[in-house]
Amino acid sequence: MSDLLYARWLMGTSLAFHIVFAAVGVAMPLFMVLAEWRWRRTGDPVWEDLARRWAKGTAILFAVGAVSGTVISFELGLLWPRFMALAGPIIGMPFSLEGFAFFTEAIFLGIYLYGWERVSPRLHLASGAVVAASGAASAFFVTLANAWMNRPAGFDLVDGAATGIDPIVAMFPPGWAHEVVHVVLSCYVATAFAVAGIHAWALRRDPVNRFHRAALAVVLSVGAVAALLQPLSGDFSARQIAATQPVKLAALEGHFHTERGAPLRIGGIPDVEAAETRFAIEIPFGLSILAFHDPRAEVKGLLDFPRDVWPPVLPVHFAFQVMVGLGTLLAAVAVLFLVLAWRGGWKVPTDRRFLLAVAISAPAGFLALEAGWLVTELGRQPYTAWGVLRTAQAVTPVPNLAAPFWIFTSIYLFLGVVVIALLRAQIAHAPASPDAAAAARGEGA
């Protein structure tokens, strides 16, 4: 592999690894705060037990997220120094603000995790709420920077150099809103369903366990709302991407020929040489409706753009199908949850088939999140900053990038294995019988 390819693989591996922990860091604090809030309101020790156990899991995942995020902040320069030399002064603002959001997140997570017996209940709960809010703020700011890479704005390019820089305009480039909303929602969906799957699996063995029921109630309530909002946000994304990143839209839809009343293609295999997508289920007018809310609207195809600005069509189209497919599946599970909960008088459904469905869909959220990230990153190729700087121009002149690639990849694999083992151990210690939590603390059974 060339050094450019190693650089791309190293950045991709680092981000694919970090993004999981980052998403957990956004959503998990909300869940643990909701559990603690219920405990403070009701005094029921099950909620306290849940909040404390979730806090432990959050501590492990957040630490890995913090250090892997540090790697990325350095890798921006280590791998793409020419991109940072150009983009730093333009998109430094969201990164700076993210730095302060991360500061508050780390400070109040410390107070939350280690302060159970040290601070007042009110301050403890408030600290958790600040962690949840600043986690979402971090995701918000960092996604703004990515939105700029997809659709650079706020400067003029003169002879390869940026002039007339306006960091405020650059902070909110065209299309920022959809990406930010979509990313933040995805953190809640992915984390909620992953956690729900674990507790649903435990409930299948022990259906009266109040601990797991309480857990499922919190995560599926948040997860269901987020999973149902996500298709709406996706629709918003489709329209903004059609307006701001037409090449990416064409690639992710496998859409080669500009046409009015363009069909929506579900599945299929794009053939770049033949400029057509085969074996897809075509829904007439579907793409025009989704992209412009008008069945007769014209949707630009890839052939309208020079071949050397096409992203890799096959993987982008495939990743997009995976994201939408899994997102639809999760929305369906969310509907099922709401219907069952409503018919059961707003109690957590413990129907075994429903629990199986939740357990099976546990990885779907994170797979969809990774697929969506691939869509936006691969869909931007061959550029690092679309239309401004190609990835091949941004890469470092440092040779032998295979070495750092293998070093960090082995570290990530190793950390991944350890985190899974640690979380398994935490879950294995969850209370087995319904009142174990209370009994363990000697509060009666």
Partner 1 sequence: MAAADILGAAMLAALVFYVLLGGADFGGGIWDLLASGPRAREQRAAIEHAIGPIWEANHVWLILVIVVLFTGFPPAFAAISIALFVPLVLLLVGIVLRGAAFTFRVYHAGNAPMQSAWGVAFSVSSVLAPLALGASVGALASGRLRLQPGSGGVPEGGWFAWLAPFPLAIGVYAAALFALVAAAYLAVETEGALREDFRKRAIGAAVAVFLAAAVALGLSWLEAPIVFEGLTRRGWSLPFHLATGAAAVLAFWALATRRVRLARAAVVAQAALIVAGWGASQYPFIVVPDVTLASASAPARTQHLLILALAGGSLLLFPCLYLLFRVFKGQRAFSMIDRRPRAG
User: Which residues sit at the interface with partner 1, rule CB under 8 A?
Assistant: 56, 59-60, 62-64, 66-71, 73-74, 76-78, 81-82, 84-90, 92-93, 95-100, 102-104, 106-111, 113-115, 118-119, 163, 165-168, 396-399, 404, 407-408, 411, 415, 418, 422, 426
In whole angstroms, what is the distance from residue 203 CA to residue 161 CA?
59
């643990």: which residue's tokens?
A: 32
CA 259 vs. chain centroid, Å, equals: 33
Q: Which is nearer to partner 1, 129 or 287 (CB)?
A: 129
Beta strands in 288-357 (DSSP E): 298-299
Q: Which is nearer to partner 1, 105 or 370 (CB)?
A: 105
Q: Which is nearer to partner 1, 340 or 423 (CB)?
A: 423
What are the angstrom distances between the C-alpha of 147 and each of 4, 45, 121, 380?
23, 44, 39, 11
Do you find a cis peptide bond into 295, omega within 30 degrees of 0?
Answer: no
Give min distance, CB of 18 to partner 1, in A: 11
Pairing of strands 259-260, 298-299: antiparallel
What are the angstrom distances between the C-alpha of 439 and each of 10, 328, 335, 436, 443?
49, 41, 36, 5, 6
In whole angstroms, what is the distance from residue 437 CA to residue 229 CA?
34
Residue 330 and residue 365 in contact, taking contact as beta carbons nearer than 8 Å: yes
Give min distance, CB of 405 to partner 1, in A: 11
Give min distance, CB of 98 to partner 1, in A: 8
Q: Which is nearer to partner 1, 64 or 299 (CB)?
A: 64
Q: Which is nearer to partner 1, 360 or 411 (CB)?
A: 411
Give min distance, CB of 321 to partner 1, in A: 34
Rounded to 5 degrees, φ, ψ at 185 are -60, -40
Rama region for 286: left / alpha / beta (φ>0; ψ in -120 to 50; rest):
alpha
- Nearest in space to 268 (alpha carbons), one of 259, 258, 257, 255: 255
Give min distance, CB of 403 to partner 1, in A: 8
Q: Which is nearer to partner 1, 42 or 70 (CB)?
A: 70
In whole angstroms, what is the distance from residue 101 CA to residue 87 CA?
21
What are the angstrom distances between the C-alpha of 362 and each of 186, 411, 437?
14, 25, 25
Q: Which is nearer to partner 1, 356 or 418 (CB)?
A: 418
Q: Which residues contact 440 (CB under 8 A, 6 or more apart)?
A: 431
Q: Which is nearer to partner 1, 105 or 253 (CB)?
A: 105
Give min distance, CB of 65 to partner 1, in A: 10
Give min distance, CB of 60 to partner 1, in A: 6
Give min distance, CB of 126 to partner 1, in A: 11
Residue 10 and residue 404 in contact, taking contact as beta carbons nearer than 8 Å: yes
Q: Which is nearer to partner 1, 60 or 359 (CB)?
A: 60
Give min distance, CB of 148 to partner 1, in A: 13
Instruction: Give, in degrees to the nearest 5, the angle at Cα 386 between 388 and 243.
Output: 125
Give min distance, CB of 100 to partner 1, in A: 4
In this structure, the chain runs to a length of 445
Q: Which is nearer to partner 1, 117 or 308 (CB)?
A: 117
Q: Which is nearer to partner 1, 104 or 221 (CB)?
A: 104
Residue 276 and residue 256 in contact, taking contact as beta carbons nearer than 8 Å: yes
- The residues with which 279 forms a beta bridge, in sequence order, are none
Give min distance, CB of 113 to partner 1, in A: 7
| 3-class secondary-structure state, position 274 | coil
